């Protein structure tokens, strides 16, 4: 059987592209730094923002409200505070910002704190997204269930309390929209459109290829969906991989390769340089990297076994990376691989139930899941262990023995953190 040609003919081509990327990326960062300098010297700035989160804090006997907002005009995520206690969710808020040189460039790229005054508050005009959010809310009685469905369908941010519960269950990757969700959605769309297309194709254009035509329609719909939910980093990465992957498959080039993954990373960072310091983006990339690594090392097994290997293998291999940043460990996280497998059936089913207006059918089961509790311990790996693990992961691309060592270390680490509950 003939092998598919690689994305790059040789290593020289690959490194030329990498060098070109760094040149262009430096230019893009320079332009953003110019905008940053212009912003911090302004005495004030008016902007209308989208409210992402709102919660209250108490300090020195005073109550104030933390707002996490996004300014589309400035392309800026930031925190600000107000003494207003009104619920501003689904309101149109216009702020007067007071930029400061104390805002560092790194803060500007991530989520800075910017002092502000609320200039005006007005009702937000109903749009399709707000109508869908309201329809979801009306199909449920528990606020936690409403949050869950609004997050997995429309990428609405979770409250701090629910985010903590999700972290305890180890299902953050199921809640945050990503390639997992896009893969399920693309499968649903292909299932719906392909039979209809073939009926028309056989009669009018039998020479056409359904992967090209149906694939284009599916990608167009998914592209609109990514834009509709405000393009979360992990979802945008996944969509770009799907688009480029579709083109690569049509051209007959090898798809599952690390050169392909690196190329996607470079394209995304050139388009959106702020992704370079997004934890969500790099965790998402890490997940895809380990999927490719598992496929490379277990490429001879059948699809059923491969599904199980990926589901459990990703859980094991990602644990050391996760515990470089997030220390929380609970026994509930052991359910994560099983919940990931079940989610592939639950997600399309829940979409269908909500379309029919009976989305609350599964609420009792979900509440039982979210009520689960467990003892919690904290384990945080030192950064130098993380560097060793990352280098070993890269080495596992080229050596199966390094891959076995990598998997062994990850398995020992998993055993160590969960055996802590038995000691």
Are 276 and 341 within one domain?
yes
What's the domain count of the chain? 2
Spatial contact of 230 and 236, defined as CB atoms under 8 Å apart: no
> 62 in helix, strand or coil?
strand
pLDDT band at 212 (very low <50, low <70, confident <90, very high): confident
Are 87 and 230 within one domain?
no
Domain membership flag for residue 160: no
pLDDT for 46-94, tens place per residue? 888 888 788 778 777 777 888 888 888 888 888 888 887 777 777 788 8
Q: Helix, strand, coil proportions of the chain in percent (round to 5)?
A: 60, 15, 25
Are 107 and 174 within one domain?
no
d(CA 341, CA 321): 22
d(CA 145, CA 359): 10
Winning range, highest mean pLDDT, from 159-173, 241-255, 324-338, 400-414: 400-414
Are 273 and 389 within one domain?
yes
* Residue where one domain finishes, among candidates 73, 107, 125: 125
Range of the domain at 379: 166-419
Are 178 and 234 within one domain?
yes
Are 75 and 212 within one domain?
no
* Residue where one domain finishes, among candidates 96, 125, 154: 125
Are 305 and 364 within one domain?
yes
Q: What is the pTM of this model?
A: 0.83
Which range among 37-41, 89-93, 215-219 shows the weakest confidence by mean pLDDT? 89-93
CATH number of the CATH domain containing 83 = 2.40.50
pLDDT for 146-197, tens place per residue? 989 998 998 888 877 788 778 777 787 788 888 888 989 998 998 888 888 8
Domain membership flag for residue 58: yes
Domain membership flag for residue 118: yes
Q: What is the mean pLDDT of residues 103-116?
A: 86
Q: Tell me phi and psi for residue 256, to 5 degrees.
A: -80, 90
> 256 in helix, strand or coil?
coil
Are 89 and 207 within one domain?
no
Domain membership flag for residue 25: no
d(CA 169, CA 45): 42
pLDDT surpassing 80 at residue 252 = no
Domain membership flag for residue 367: yes
Domain membership flag for residue 141: no
Element (H, E) at 333: none
Domain membership flag for residue 186: yes
Element (H, E) at 93: strand 91-98
Spatial contact of 254 and 5, defined as CB atoms under 8 Å apart: yes
The residue among 374, 314, 367 whose CA lies nearest residue 341 is: 314
Are 228 and 340 within one domain?
yes
d(CA 344, CA 307): 11
Residue 174, CA distances (Å) to 170, 179, 212, 247, 285 in order: 9, 10, 29, 27, 15
Are 118 and 198 within one domain?
no
Domain membership flag for residue 5: no
- Quick one: tokens of 152? 């997995």
> 296 in helix, strand or coil?
helix
pLDDT for 123-146, tens place per residue? 777 778 888 988 999 999 888 899
Are 182 and 308 within one domain?
yes
Which range among 35-44, 98-107, 245-254 shows the weakest confidence by mean pLDDT? 245-254
Residue 371, CA distances (Å) to 151, 178, 282, 366 in order: 18, 25, 30, 9
The residue among 173, 415, 211 whose CA lies nearest residue 290 is: 173
Element (H, E) at 154: helix 143-154
| pLDDT given for residue 411 in this prediction | 93
* Residue where one domain finishes, among candidates 93, 125, 157: 125
Are 222 and 326 within one domain?
yes
């Amino acid at each position: 059987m003939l092998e598919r040609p690689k994305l790059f003919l040789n290593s020289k081509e690959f490194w030329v592209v990498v060098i070109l990327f760094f040149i262009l990326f430096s230019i893009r960062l320079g332009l953003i730094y110019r905008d940053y300098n212009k912003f911090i010297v302004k005495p004030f700035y008016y902007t209308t923002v989208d409210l992402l989160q709102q919660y209250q804090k108490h300090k020195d006997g005073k109550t104030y409200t933390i707002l996490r907002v996004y300014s589309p005009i400035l392309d800026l995520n930031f925190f600000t505070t107000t003494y207003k206690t009104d619920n501003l969710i689904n309101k149109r808020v216009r702020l007067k910002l007071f930029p400061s040189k104390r805002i560092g460039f790194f803060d500007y790229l991530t989520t800075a704190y910017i002092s502000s005054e609320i200039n005006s508050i007005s009702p937000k005009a109903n749009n399709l997204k707000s109508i869908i959010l309201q329809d979801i809310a009306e199909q449920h009685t528990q606020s936690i269930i409403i949050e869950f469905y609004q997050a997995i369908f429309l990428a609405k941010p979770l409250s701090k309390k629910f985010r903590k519960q999700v972290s305890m269950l180890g299902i953050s990757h199921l809640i945050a929209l990503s390639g997992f969700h896009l893969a399920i959605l693309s499968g649903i769309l292909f299932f719906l459109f392909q039979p209809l297309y073939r009926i028309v194709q056989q009669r009018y254009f039998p020479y056409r290829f359904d992967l090209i035509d149906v694939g284009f329609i599916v990608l167009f719909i998914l592209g609109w969906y990514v834009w509709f939910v405000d393009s979360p980093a992990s979802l945008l990465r996944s969509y770009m991989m799907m688009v480029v992957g579709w083109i690569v498959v049509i051209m007959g080039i090898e798809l599952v390769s690390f050169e392909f993954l690196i190329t996607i990373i470079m394209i995304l960072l050139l388009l959106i340089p702020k992704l370079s310091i997004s934890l969500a983006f790099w965790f998402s990339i890490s997940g895809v990297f380990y999927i490719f690594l598992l496929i490379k090392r277990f490429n001879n097994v059948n699809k059923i076994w491969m599904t199980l290997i990926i589901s459990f293998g990703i859980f094991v291999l990602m644990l050391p990376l996760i515990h470089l940043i997030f220390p929380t460990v609970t026994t509930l996280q052991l359910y994560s691989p099983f919940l990931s497998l079940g989610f592939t059936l639950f997600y399309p089913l829940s979409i269908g139930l909500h379309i029919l207006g009976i989305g609350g059918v599964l609420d009792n089961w979900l509440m039982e899941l979210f009520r689960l509790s467990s003892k919690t311990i904290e384990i945080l790996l030192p950064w130098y262990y993380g560097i060793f693990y990352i280098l070993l992961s890269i080495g596992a691309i080229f050596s199966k023995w390094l891959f076995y060592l990598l998997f062994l270390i990850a398995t020992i680490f998993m055993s160590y953190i969960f055996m802590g509950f038995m000691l």
